[in-house]
Structure 1
Amino acid sequence: MSNRVNIIYWSGTGNTELMAKSIYDGSKGSENVKLLSVENASLDDVKEADILFLGCSSMGNEELEETEMEPFMESISNDISGKKIILFGSYGWGDGEWMQDWEERVKKCGGILVEQSIICNEGPSSEDIENLTSLGKKYTLSVEAKQVN
């Protein structure tokens, strides 16, 4: 398996996309990091990643977006066992229950949540952007350090 950090997201209003780009910005353009909207992502992008960031905003009754992200999650559910995963996303109403449900789903599929999920009510604050950028930097550095050893 190659040493990769892949960031795969769905965004309706641009808030979750901004979150994804903030993670990517933290990588400072490392060639080991890939930023993909979910419609351009494949199972191979999941399989090749050592660290997988998945982002989606809450839709409807606190659910994952149903036409692209939900089918993608269904398609990768058998391939995330043992995979290190970090979830992120934004919401406009409710209390973030969709993220708790998503975390449970990932765990039931054998995914390993290596960080607390990051959720933002509406757009990310400057503090959220800083935290996301730091995560991008942290996991890019850990992957690059792994390659040296």
Structure 2
Amino acid sequence: MKTAVIFWSGTGNTEAMANAVAEGAGVSAVQVSAFDGDVSEYDALALGCPAMGAEELEDSEFEPFFSGIEGKISGKKIAIFGSYDWGDGEWMRLWADRVKAAGAELIGGEGLICNNTPDDDALAKCKELGSKIK
């Protein structure tokens, strides 16, 4: 099974989560700006993006990327994760709804969120999430 872990991180919190997810999946994490593959060639994707603004996906790189692949993820295993500083996780619930509406199999429930810097427990959950998508 071909798996990719793709993320955007502004503070390093979601990057730490991405690295733990990638470790669990047995792959390397790649920043969305450096991803040059075709998601159609992957069986599973773990996508990471923090909450930005009014609880939304980062809009200069990640949102355009995700919008561009939404039509290509039907039938794929998708895990989503990210960090936040405030709010209640609305961005993750909305993102999970988009993943399911696109016909993907959402792995790990409604997405994995972490308040600010992930602690050891959060990183362990990230590794576990990675192991579920490989």
Q: Same fold (TM over 0.5)?
A: yes
Contact 2:20 2:126 in 1 (8 A): yes
What is the identity, as a one-letter code, of the residue corresponding to 1:131? K
What is the identity, as a one-letter code, of the residue corresponding to 2:104? G
What is the identity, as a one-letter code, of the residue corresponding to 1:18? A
Contact 2:43 2:77 in 1 (8 A): yes
2:29 is aligned to 35
Deviation at 1:51, TM superposition (A): 1.5
SS in 1 for 2:71: coil
Deviation at 1:102, TM superposition (A): 0.3
Structure 2 Cα separation of the partners of residues 71 and 42 of structure 1:
14
Contact 2:78 2:133 in 1 (8 A): no
Structure 2 Cα separation of the partners of residues 52 and 136 of structure 1:
10
Greater shift in the superposed pair: 33-42 or 46-55: 33-42
Counting matched residue pairs gives: 133
Runs of 4+ residues over 2 Å off in structure 1:
134-140
2:108 is aligned to 115
What is the identity, as a one-letter code, of the residue corresponding to 2:94? D
SS in 1 for 2:83: strand
2:14 is aligned to 16
| Structure 2 counterparts to residues 77-96 of structure 1, below 5 A | 77-96=70-89
- List gaps (5 residues or longer) in structure 2: none
Q: Which has the larger radius of gyration?
A: 1
Structure 2 Cα separation of the partners of residues 67 and 131 of structure 1:
28
- List gaps (5 residues or longer) in structure 1: 141-149
2:24 is aligned to 26
Deviation at 1:89, TM superposition (A): 0.2
1:7 is aligned to 5
RMSD (CA atoms) = 1.4
The change in CA–CA distance for 1:104 and 1:138 in structure 2 (over 3 A counts) is: closer
Contact 2:52 2:58 in 1 (8 A): yes
1:61 is aligned to 54
Contact 1:43 1:75 in 2 (8 A): no
Aligned match for 1:134, one of 118, 121, 128:
128
Aligned match for 1:106, one of 99, 103, 126:
99
Instruction: State the TM-score, normalized to the length of structure 2.
Output: 0.92
Deviation at 1:138, TM superposition (A): 4.2
Structure 2 Cα separation of the partners of residues 84 and 121 of structure 1:
25
Structure 1 Cα separation of the partners of residues 132 and 88 of structure 2:
28
